[in-house]
């Protein structure tokens, strides 16, 4: 029962976040904006359409969206909602989660390169580099959780229930911040990437899917939502674990946290110059290492 609820809540989060981002942006810009469920309607239209394939592409291009979405679905099935229980859970599933998402990245990079387009190659090259640089942040983030909670699977980490502990709270809040940052990078949002830019030269994620249309494009969109939901749910779980909150806290918190922060950042900030992105992402990894070190010192009970 808990597993079914967990899965449904993840799907709900995945659907709600893009809607809230759009609404936040509309309100901040003073526009009337699109309705909350517009992105669902868009994908519905895409899923019912035919498609165009480039003559340059091979079979890999046609299978890639299925692998991309499949990997995102399996990764999402590993994420618990607060103290609920996910479908897939074992010791070390944090590693499996990271590498399943890496599979998604590899296949979409290859699909982009398959078209032989210079623009898509550009996006693929950037995605490969940024993905490589964000990986250490992700793993060290998991290591911090493992260090502090003593477990190596999401379900056990976030089930950690105790009375209020200041050290735990500090580390968990910092980790939540880290995962929010990773969510920004992984889902291709400002300041790393701007999904709404009109210039292909400056895109990263969007430019890789230029040659996809119809049902394939729909699948890629859904996978993107799931990926964002995974990272925001991890961040929300970390916060929920500090006060032993349950799923009724984690779901709205995940949606609000990512929806509002992405919406606000996209309305108020410009995206980075591309050459700054590497620094930005390496800084996140450095931040992760710093958080790990703080966690280590707190664990040793050193007064700082």
Partner 1 sequence: MFYISLLLALTLLVATLFLAPLRWKMWVATSATALVAIAASIPAISVLSGDSEMEIMRITSPFFGAETLHMDSLSALFVLIICIAGIATMLYSRGYLEHYLDKKSSAHISLHYTALVVLVASMILVVVSSGGFSFLFAWELMTIASFLLILFDAQRQQVLRAALAYLIMMHIGFVLLVAGFAGIYSACGSGNFANLAMCFSEGNTLPIFILFLLGFGMKAGLFPMHVWLPEAHPAAPSHVSAIMSGVMIKTGVYGIIRTLWYVVEPQELHTIGLIILAMGIVTGLWGVILAAVQNDAKRLLAYSSIENIGVIFIGLGISTLAHAAGNSTVATIALCGALLHTINHSFFKSLLFFGAGNIYSKMHTTLLDRFGGVAKHMPITAILFFIATVAICALPPLNGFVGEFLIYLGMLDSIREGANTIYAAAGLLALSLIGGIVVLAFTKLYSTIFLGSPRDHHVAESTEVDNLRIAAMAIPTVCIILIGLFPQFAINIIESVAEQFHPQASSILEGYVTPNLWKISLTVWMLILVITLLYVVKSRAMKKRTISQGPTWGCGFTATNIRMQYTGESFSEGLESIATSLTQNTIEGRAVGKSEIFPSSHGYNIRHKDKIDRLFAAWWMELLHIINKRIMRLRTGKINNYILFALLFLIAIFILSLFNLI
Residues 251 to 290: which contact partner 1 by CB under 8 A? Answer: 278, 289
Among 81, 124, 174, 254, binds partner 1 (CB under 8 A): 124
Verify binding: residue 131, partner 1, rule CB under 8 A.
yes
Decide if residue 110 touches partner 1 (CB under 8 A).
yes
Min separation Cβ 35 and partner 1, Å: 26
User: Is 67 a residue that touches partner 1 (CB under 8 A)?
Assistant: yes
* 167 lies in the site for partner 1, by CB under 8 A: no
Residue listed under structure tokens 């110059």: 273
Task: Give the dihedral sign, CA 151/157/159/165.
Answer: positive
Sketch the per residue contact string, 215 through 254, with partner 1: x for CB under 8 A, - otherwise. Answer: xx--x-----------------------------------
**CA pair distance 77, 97, nearest whole angstrom:** 9
The single-letter DSSP state of residue 270 is P
Buried b (16+ CB within 10 A) or exposed e, 86-122: bebbeeebbebbeebbbbbbbbbbebbbbbebebbbb
Q: Rounded distance, CA 129 to CA 23, Å?
A: 32
Q: CB 248 → partner 1: shortest distance, Å?
A: 28
Work out whether 54 is an interface residue with partner 1 (CB under 8 A).
Answer: yes
- Using DSSP's 3-state secondary structure scheme, residue 152 falls into coil
CB of 177 to partner 1, least distance (A): 19
- CB under 8 A: which stretch of 18-26, 144-152, 239-247, 265-273 binds partner 1? 144-152
Q: How far is the CB of 132 from partner 1 (least distance, A)?
A: 3
Angle at 232 between CA 130 and CA 154, to 5 degrees: 95
Altogether, the residues listed in the chain come to a count of 304
CA distances for 8 relative to 15, 87, 121, 171, angstroms = 11, 11, 36, 29
Closest to partner 1 by CB, 131 or 259? 131
Q: Which stretch binds partner 1 (CB under 8 A): 3-11, 37-45, 73-81, 259-267?
A: 73-81
In whole angstroms, give the CA distance from residue 140 to residue 157. Answer: 15
Residue 100 tokens, joined: 């399943």
Cα gap 215→212, rounded to integer Å: 9
Rounded least distance, CB 84 to partner 1, Å: 18
Contact status: 135 vs partner 1 (CB under 8 A): yes
Q: Which stretch binds partner 1 (CB under 8 A): 7-15, 32-40, 87-95, 246-254?
A: 87-95
């Amino acid at each position: 029962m808990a597993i079914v609820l967990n899965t449904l809540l993840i799907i709900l989060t995945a659907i709600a976040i893009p809607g809230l981002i759009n609404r936040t942006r509309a309100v901040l810009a003073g526009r009337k904006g699109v309705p909350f469920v517009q992105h669902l309607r868009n994908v519905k239209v895409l899923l019912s359409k035919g498609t165009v394939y480039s003559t340059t592409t091979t079979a890999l291009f046609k299978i890639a969206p299925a692998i991309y979405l499949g990997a995102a679905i399996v990764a999402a099935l590993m994420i618990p909602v607060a103290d609920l229980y996910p479908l897939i859970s074992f010791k070390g599933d944090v590693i499996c989660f990271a590498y399943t998402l890496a599979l998604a990245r590899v296949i979409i990079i290859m699909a982009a390169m398959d078209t032989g387009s210079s623009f898509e190659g550009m996006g693929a090259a950037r995605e490969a580099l940024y993905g490589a640089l964000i990986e250490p942040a992700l793993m060290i983030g998991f290591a911090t959780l493992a260090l502090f909670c003593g477990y190596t699977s999401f379900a056990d980490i976030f089930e950690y229930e105790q009375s209020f502990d200041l050290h735990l709270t500090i580390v968990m809040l910092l980790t939540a911040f880290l995962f929010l940052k990773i969510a920004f990078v992984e889902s291709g949002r400002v300041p790393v990437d701007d999904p709404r830019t009109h210039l292909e030269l400056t895109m990263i994620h969007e430019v890789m899917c230029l040659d996809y249309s119809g049902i394939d494009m729909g699948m890629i969109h859904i996978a993107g939502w799931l990926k964002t939901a995974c990272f925001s749910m991890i961040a929300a779980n970390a916060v929920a674990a500090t006060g032993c909150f349950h799923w009724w806290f984690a779901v709205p918190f995940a949606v609000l946290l990512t929806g509002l922060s992405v919406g606000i950042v996209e309305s108020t900030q410009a995206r980075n110059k591309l050459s700054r992105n590497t620094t930005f992402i390496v800084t996140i990894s450095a931040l992760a290492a710093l958080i790990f070190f703080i966690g280590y010192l707190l664990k040793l009970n050193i007064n700082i």
